Amino acid sequence: MPSFPKPKIPDAVVPPPLRKPAKPGSGGTPRGQAPSDLKEAPERKTHGDKLLDQAKDAPIDALGWVDQRLAASGFLTGMLFRKVPKGTNWFYTLGSATLFAFIVQATTGVFLAMFYTPSATQAYSSIAHINNEVPLGQFVHGMHKWGSSVMVILIFLHMGRTFFFGAYKYPRELNWVIGVVLLILTMTMAFTGYLLPFDQRSFWASIVGININGTGPVVGPYLSDFLRAGPELGATTLSRFYAIHMLLVPGAIIALIGAHMYLVVKLGTTAPPWVKAQRPKVASPLAQLDAGGNGNGRVNGHRVDGAPVDGEGNGSL
């Protein structure tokens, strides 16, 4: 290829930090004379304008400061702008909806804990106090109570989606297993939370639940003894249920949701069963092997290492 001489780029269009400093004695701007780009400088800004500009830039500067130390923007960009398979639809929002329900439960739960007393003699009256006297208490309690059912319904719908779309197959088996543990933990949250108002209904329903647990094979009797925390359901049962409901299970759920999300981002999501895999544009047996079919004649458009595979139904939405 013949090479053409590069045209000289006019000084005015080069940003100041990239300009070459003039060699000493080679001319440059004569003493006492303003450089050419300053001669036609725009109107000088007042002190107030400068302050306003600084205030506008402050959040960006602060984020930049944090990002320089965390290097999180690469991760966030990868997560938020990742490719999704063709055919992605509303059913794929059920996982995020479950996550949202969990966040609502955690938030409302924190506020309820500020007023709730986990004692056999005061639990009932503290709930009555929340409902009748605390500002917005009944609203927050209602959100938490109904939110628990919403979360259970959503988690089942989400599990159904992943099952019917074949998302439990290779390479996502581990994420399915984590999901199963999340399901058990969510049910544990609903079960342990039910006793906390300590009214007649929650008391007798918990006895029924504990007895059902006791009928399980091998571990059943031990599990019901552990849950009851004594020969009869009473004050120690309430404390135990509260500790499980407040500390143990939420901590485990948060950790497992983190692992679940990590795998979703790393492996990508599965294409719906009705989306057929396209043949790679370039016939390359290696690319086909790498694409990792999921056992039902389609692939999700990502290799196991997360890289999108050309022509494998990985169009973004």
User: Is residue 102 a contact point for ligand HEM (CB under 6 A)?
Assistant: yes
Cβ closer to ligand HEM: 14 or 180? 180
User: Is residue 167 a contact point for ligand HEM (CB under 6 A)?
Assistant: yes
Structure tokens at 218: 């091998």
Cβ closer to ligand HEM: 134 or 264? 264
User: Is residue 176 a contact point for ligand HEM (CB under 6 A)?
Assistant: yes
The DSSP output letter for 302 is: B
Give the span between the Cα atoms of 34 and 82, in whole angstroms: 49
Beta bridge partners of 308: 302
User: Is residue 115 a contact point for ligand HEM (CB under 6 A)?
Assistant: no
User: Is residue 302 a contact point for ligand HEM (CB under 6 A)?
Assistant: no
H helices within the chain, ranges in order? 36-39, 47-70, 72-80, 94-113, 123-132, 137-164, 173-195, 200-214, 220-228, 235-243, 249-267, 285-291
- Measured from the CB of residue 254, what is the shortest distance to ligand HEM in angstroms? 10
- Measured from the CB of residue 176, what is the shortest distance to ligand HEM in angstroms? 4
Which window, 12-20, 52-60, 105-113, 182-190, contacts ligand HEM (CB under 6 A)? 182-190
Contact by Cβ (8 Å): 216, 184 = no
In Å, how far are 128, 166, 167, 228, 232 from 162, measured between CA atoms? 41, 6, 5, 35, 41
Give the span between the Cα atoms of 241 and 190, in whole angstroms: 11
Contact by Cβ (8 Å): 115, 164 = no
- Measured from the CB of residue 202, what is the shortest distance to ligand HEM in angstroms? 23
Give the span between the Cα atoms of 267 and 261, in whole angstroms: 10
User: Is residue 162 a contact point for ligand HEM (CB under 6 A)?
Assistant: yes
Question: Which residue has 């973004």 as its token pair?
Answer: 316
Give the span between the Cα atoms of 84 and 165, in whole angstroms: 15
Show contacts with ligand HEM in window 209-228 (CB under 6 A): none
Show contacts with ligand HEM in window 268-287 (CB under 6 A): 269-270
List the one residue from 83, 158, 298, 303 that touches ligand HEM (CB under 6 A). Answer: 158
* Nearest by Cα to 227 from 190, 217, 113, 238: 238
Cβ closer to ligand HEM: 187 or 212? 187
List the one residue from 92, 203, 241, 242 that touches ligand HEM (CB under 6 A). Answer: 92
Over the window 241 to 270, marking each residue x when it contacts ligand HEM by CB under 6 A and - when it does not, the resulting string is ----------------x--x---x----xx
Return residues touching ligand HEM (CB under 6 A). Answer: 92, 94-96, 98-99, 102, 155, 158-159, 162, 165, 167-168, 172, 175-176, 179-180, 182-183, 186, 257, 260, 264, 269-270
